[in-house]
Amino acid sequence: MTRSHPLDPTILREYDIRGVVDESFGEADVRALGRAFGSLVRRGGGRSLAVGYDGRESSVRLADALIEGLISTGITVKMIGLGPTPMMYYAVHELATDGGLMITGSHNPPEYNGLKMMLGTKPFYGAQIQNLGEMTAKGDFESGEGVIEPVDLFDRYIERLARDFDPLPEDAVPIDVGWDPGNGAAGDAVAALVKKLPGRHLVINETIDGRFPNHHPDPTVEKNLEQLKALVKAENLSLGLAFDGDGDRIGAVDRHGRVVWGDQLLLVLARHLLATQPGVPIIADVKASQMLFDGIRDAGGLPEMWKTGHSLIKARMSEVGAPLAGEMSGHIFYKDRFYGHDDGLYAAIRLLNAIAAQGGDLAALRDAMPQLVNTPELRFPCAEERKNPVIEGVRARLQEQGAKIIDVDGVRVITDDGWWLLRASNTQDVLVARVESHDEAGLLRLKGLLRDQLVLSGITPPEDL
């Protein structure tokens, strides 16, 4: 029987592995990936890996196949079981393993599943993931006799999250919070965490259910926050917090039920951090509002605009020593007092600290921010082989015109009216755009500039642009 196992190339994404279960991604694929990853770790001198899984209906059997592949290479598997992806990240640090793997489909629909990975304490992505595919195709595996060691880490993880909640001043009014894990893998963790916090906490959709019966578990899509908005208003709560399917991203609404987007949350967090650590670098992705970068600078920080992608942000944080970073998508990364990875529940703890330290009202903090007008993230189809040539063509034309551009990730074009962005997605066959201005008239002008560039590149602009 051959050891070679070619994978469907579409499952090998930039930051993780993901596909439709039993179509592009099944048990044989995961078993082969376990052999490849275990072999990499063994060849680097490693011996143990943490493994967890989310609440999807396929996750237990896929985890079993993954572990079978890993132990066939001589790896000791520290099995942490069901929970959010950040619990796996925590396990790597807490258990001092040589890396970790998580069976999760993140916020994708129920029929999807996948793998997120760490090698040592660093993200595993890009060319490293492509290399795994090459190893499985060649059957390039080590052999050995590993073992499985179940580890009950859940209580330690919850204690670690709660440890960084700052005690409220005696005269402070506790913040009342609604929580919505969206039936995702963070459900049990949220229910346990709120018992350790002061104030009133109401949790909905906490039952882990991989069918996601109440709404899709993506807090960056406003329609998925309708239940949370209703809860906050009906119960007169201070704010509401939501999480994605595997718990590494956070979303929020204020007491009026208004969405507080990822860049707005990051500004609240940054101001709080900079009050005690002035002059430190804080990173945000290229899709974030200009008010965030200006706000970090005004608060005494060093803002840095960086490429979109949680693995890319984590790597950059390590390079420049940033204690805090974030993305529009709701990934928030803390190196300050934490480990430098994205954890939606930990971000929630630090957000509650930041709100309490800045007056206790998220709505007031949101209202005090510059009131700009912008589009949501616009995504439209573009064939994989055309994505980068389109971006390069737009960049070349703009440079020829003398336009002011930031090209750290695609092209972000700065004008007197504001800015517009066009970049290639790292995970899908789409182009991504965003536009922001000081007023509606400026927004229309900037949209027109973006549409013109798309037409010149032979791309039909989306209807919502």
Q: Which residues of 342-376 are buried (b: 16+ CB within 10 A; e: fewer)?
A: bbbbbbbbbbbbbbbbbebbbbebbeebeeeebbe
In this structure, what CATH number is given to the domain that contains residue 384? 3.30.310.50
82 and 182 belong to one structural domain: no
Gyration radius from the chain CA atoms: 22
pLDDT value for 173: 81
User: What is d(CA 311, CA 287) in angstroms, rounded to the nearest whole number?
Assistant: 16
Tokens of 424: 């290639």
Q: Report which of 23, 22, 27 is spatially closest to residue 5, judged by C-alpha positions.
A: 27
Q: Number of helices (H) and strands (E), helices first, in the chain?
A: 14, 22
In a domain, 463, yes or no: no
pLDDT value for 181: 98
Phi, psi of 50 (to 5 degrees): -85, 140
Q: Helices 27-43 and 127-138: crossing angle, nearest 10°? A: 110
Read off the pLDDT of residues 67-94 as tens digits, 9 standing for 90 and up: 999 999 999 999 999 999 999 999 999 9
253 and 336 belong to one structural domain: yes
The number of distinct structural domains making up the chain is 3
Q: Is the pLDDT of residue 2 over 60?
A: no
pLDDT value for 372: 95
Task: Give me the chain's average pLDDT, please.
Answer: 96
pLDDT value for 1: 39
Q: What is the mean pLDDT of residues 449-458?
A: 95
Tokens of 68: 């079978």
Tokens of 188: 């049990």
In a domain, 136, yes or no: yes
pLDDT value for 392: 96
Read off the pLDDT of residues 264-305 as tens digits, 9 standing for 90 and up: 999 999 999 999 999 999 999 999 999 999 999 999 999 999
Q: Which helix (H) or strand (E) holds 18?
A: strand 17-20
145 and 181 belong to one structural domain: no
In a domain, 117, yes or no: yes
pTM for this entry:
0.95
In a domain, 2, yes or no: no
Among 124, 152, 180, where does a domain finish? 152
Read off the pLDDT of residues 122-178 as tens digits, 9 standing for 90 and up: 999 999 999 999 999 999 999 999 999 999 999 999 999 999 999 987 778 889 999
pLDDT confidence tier of residue 349, bands split at 50, 70 and 90: very high
Q: What is the mean pLDDT of residues 333-345?
A: 98
106 catalytically annotated? yes
Domain ranges, residue 209: 157-367
* DSSP string for 225-278: GHHHHHHHHHTT-SEEEEE-TTSS-EEEEETTS-EE-HHHHHHHHHHHHHTTST
Read off the pLDDT of residues 206-264 as tens digits, 9 standing for 90 and up: 999 999 999 999 999 999 999 999 999 999 999 999 999 999 999 999 999 999 999 99
Q: Exactly one of 48, 58, 59, 106 is catalytic; name it.
A: 106
